[in-house]
Structure 1
Amino acid sequence: MGGHPSELLAQHTRQAELVEQLILLAKVDTHTLSQTRQDVSVAALGKEALKPPLKPLLRMVADKQLTIDWQVSPDLMLHVNPALVKEALVNVLKNAVEHTAFGGQIQIIGIADPIRVRLKIINTGSPIAEADMPHLFERFFRGQYATANNVGIGLAIAAGITRENDGHLSAENTAEGVQFTFEFFR
């Protein structure tokens, strides 16, 4: 078998996460996600998304000395499936952390108007290649700057979950990096 037990455990954990993500992707593709919705605070979703089951993500934030700037009002509400939208948020946050350079910043900004709620995740990472932009939310697409562990399903899952909750996920390059925007109608 070979390998240190901690390495084997890490590989097992990664494979289990991949299987879970593939099952979720299949449900997105077949429109069989749970339609159970409730009013939920965006701030509460964010706190759940950053809880300790994501130790590798939090470790990467610490190792890269990233700053996470949370600018979301506690009373900003969505009517969505909280477990699924949390998963979408986690996938976009993972992407932001992976592509933000050492010492960089990730901003999470919540904005509401009478019609919709927007949640922007802005990182100071490298811009997305223009040729990659139209394919960003496609299943198994790996962009020019994909990491070795990237299989290209996280953003597809995030976009699918967002659509299933009557929302839209978009991405654009900014002067400082990349901005992903979740948009949900009230």
Structure 2
Amino acid sequence: RPQPGTFPLPSRLLQSLEEKGDLQQLLRLAAAAISRVQSHQLASLQQTGTTESGNQQTTWQTEIPLRHGQEFIPLQAKLQREDTPRQQADSQREQRDPLESLWRIDLAFDLPPLGPLQVQAQLTQGRLSGQLWAERPQTAELIDSQLGSLRERLLARGLDVGDLECNPGIPPQGPRTRLEQRWVDETA
């Protein structure tokens, strides 16, 4: 069972339907889909928290189904906004520019024939930077060869672009958002 706050959620292979219209199998698939939605909701339960540096961090996490041919591919997305204490005070006076905040987006998806991909991008002070990870080395090479074109298109749209890179493998797993709230008070 995945821990709350993990990103991305582990993929599950769906068992093939033995017979068309197998009600028990359809009920299991529906329960699995609801379980994934609940996992994302639990991961976003602590939507606003304070980081070790004293900044306020707000997190939203969801899964978006994308249609690819005849099947649906889940796109997992996590969006975070981080404000310094000074920015928090400015937001109460409604003088804060949203671009002053640090924005992060993490995406995870598995597109055939490219394989599993993860994207981590951040926008701070109007500057966009990002890293991509492809589990298949040939996919990482393909993406790396196209990053120059992506940079040019982002610059043409008026964005200030920092580092863009693609790495083979999976991203390193750092500190995670943990669920600090308890559903049952053990001291009662």
What TM-score does the superposition give when structure 2 sets the normalisation length? 0.28
What TM-score does the superposition give when structure 1 sets the normalisation length? 0.29
Structure with higher Rg: it is 2
- Structure of greater relative contact order (alpha carbons < 8 Å, 6+ residues apart): 1
The answer to which structure has the higher strand fraction is: 2
